[in-house]
Amino acid sequence: MVTSLGRRDGSWTIADGIAWLRARPWTYVYAVFAIWGFTPGLRRVIDWKSSFSSVSIVSILPLLALVPAAVAVATTLRRRSLPREALVVLWLWLGAFGYAYAVALAVGNPLPATYTLVGFLLPTFFGLWVMLEIDADPVLLYERIASFVLALSVPISLYAFFQYVAPPPWDLLWLQQTQLVSVGIAQAFSFRPFSTLNAPGPFADFLIYVLILNIPRVRGATFLRGSAIALDVAALGLTLVRSDWIALVVAIVVFVALNRRKLANLSIIALVVLVVAVVSNNAGVLLGNEQAGAEIQERFDSLGDITSDVSFVERQRFFGEALANAIAQPTGEGLGVLGTATKLGSAGNTVDFDNGYIARFTEMGYFGIAAYLAAILAMFAMTARRWYVLDHAGNAPAAAIAAAALALQAALIFLDASSDHHSLFSGLVYWIAFGLVFGQRVGREPAR
């Protein structure tokens, strides 16, 4: 039965919508990235114009933008098959989250559990949609996505500097209302910039994803491309998010180790080191505020003695307690008991969790966490094997893309130790990178 989606000079059906997406796939891809990049900032402007609310319908617009892709994949799979690698990872992924969702329903926590579930699965289906529906040369597909997100990052990074030096009223209102001590206070040079994203953490995540996807494009970069990359690195330094700094280093090391042109790729490391050195040593002059420069320098210096850092020590203590609690719940507590989704529960408050693995263990129990970790490790192993095949076949461009995908996965595996990094926008990039490597292998059967 055909379900009508609306009317516009005649009937508009799901089939019509899918046909529209297939005819304009790049319009949809670009729109999705832009929506995820700018919606949090738009919400702050709306809150400033009306009234602040901890829960806003605007916040779910990025997830709603992924629904068409999920519907398209659900209908497409009836006549097109995914590659074996994608099916293995997908079934493990669905098994982990399906089990934890069932537990949540059994204990009477449906709304928060559903929000958590779609935060992980809708990005998955968008990545699968890219894999199935965009019929393009894999190198061209990569170039268009990498170049677009880099272009998108330029205004977002520039706004971060403007926000830090002369914060607009809507951002000041958000700082005042949320009262997040870790972000800072509502005055210039006294907080960690978050640009148009939710917070400094998601902003730093966005920047390293853009940088990692563009690692293969650093060599031979034009002046404009090099300037955009340098701008993003500088903005990343301003966020003071050390976990993302380290994750970027991890990704670069993985990529350089996999690339045959190791000496040539030292330019990647040289560029990052140069920008970091300039920003950290001259931050006060560049920003026009010595106090801000001292804070950035202190943050960099703390990496040399991380064991004495208060934040690190507190996280280690929390890790031990949370792990013990998770071990004591073998069946898990179900999805939606941690993170932003808890706002939708009976308490109405966010329950923060500083370790993505322990969060999944707490929600999924022994079976779920085993399937979750198996999915992540299987994707990494399959991507590594694909890189090996491409590299030994002499397909340097495709091998470089696979190396970048592996670098991204390594960064996310590291970042999951700090918080969830396989859902929402992180999940979107994670599954798209997987699609860049395996999308070229999708068998396409003629439509019946």
Share of the chain above pLDDT 70, in %: 78
Q: Per-residue pLDDT for 276 more than 90?
A: no
Query: What's the CA gap between 288 and 437, in Å, rounded?
Result: 44
Q: Is residue 5 part of a domain?
A: no
Range with the poorest average pLDDT among 104-118, 343-357, 403-417, 434-448:
434-448
Query: What's the CA gap between 387 and 391, in Å, rounded?
Result: 6
CB within 8 Å of 51: residues ≥ 6 apart:
none
Query: What's the CA gap between 259 and 396, in Å, rounded?
Result: 9
Query: What's the CA gap between 98 and 334, in Å, rounded?
Result: 10
The residue segments making up the domain with residue 133 are 25-441
Range with the poorest average pLDDT among 264-273, 279-288, 360-369, 390-399:
279-288
Residue 344 structure tokens: 């939708």
pLDDT of residue 21: 77
pLDDT of residue 291: 64
- Say if CB 251 and CB 215 are below 8 A apart: yes
Query: What's the CA gap between 392 and 316, in Å, rounded?
Result: 42
Tell me the per-residue pLDDT of 418-434, one tens digit each, with 9 for 90 and over: 888 898 999 999 999 99
Assessment of whether the complete model's pTM goes beyond 0.75: yes
Q: What is the dihedral of CA 222, 227, 228, 233, to 10 degrees?
A: 130
Question: Given pLDDT bands bounded at 50, 70 and 90, which one contains residue 176?
Answer: confident
Question: Given pLDDT bands bounded at 50, 70 and 90, which one contains residue 446?
Answer: very low
Q: Is residue 84 part of a domain?
A: yes
Q: Per-residue pLDDT for 5 more than 50?
A: no
Q: Is residue 10 part of a domain?
A: no
Residue type, 47: D
Q: Per-residue pLDDT for 442 more than 50?
A: no
pLDDT of residue 448: 35
Q: Is residue 8 part of a domain?
A: no
Question: Given pLDDT bands bounded at 50, 70 and 90, which one contains residue 2?
Answer: very low
Q: How far is CA 4 from CA 8, 15, 16, 349, in A?
A: 11, 9, 9, 37
CB within 8 Å of 348: residues ≥ 6 apart:
none
Q: Is residue 17 part of a domain?
A: no
Q: Which residues lie across from 339 on neighbouring strands?
A: 351
Query: What's the CA gap between 270 and 94, in Å, rounded?
Result: 41
CB within 8 Å of 276: residues ≥ 6 apart:
233, 237, 300
Q: Read off the pLDDT of each residue in 242-250 and give the average, rounded to a whole number.
A: 91
Q: Is residue 44 part of a domain?
A: yes
Considering its fold, how many domains does the chain have in total?
1
**Torsion angles phi and psi, residue 23, rounded to 5:** -80, -25
Greater pLDDT, 219 or 350? 219
pLDDT of residue 97: 95
pLDDT of residue 310: 58
Tell me the per-residue pLDDT of 55-90, one tens digit each, with 9 for 90 and over: 678 888 999 999 999 988 888 766 567 778 888 899
Other C-beta atoms lying within 10 Å of the C-beta of residue 300: 18
Selection from 152-156, 245-249, 254-258 with the highest mean pLDDT: 152-156
Residue 327 structure tokens: 């071990």
Q: Read off the pLDDT of each residue in 206-223 and give the average, rounded to a whole number.
A: 89
Q: Is residue 19 part of a domain?
A: no
Query: What's the CA gap between 229 and 154, in Å, rounded?
Result: 9
Question: Given pLDDT bands bounded at 50, 70 and 90, which one contains residue 155?
Answer: very high
Considering the chain, what is the average pLDDT of its residues? 82
Among residues 326, 364, 344, 360, the alpha carbon closest in space to that of 103 is found at 364
Q: Is residue 365 part of a domain?
A: yes
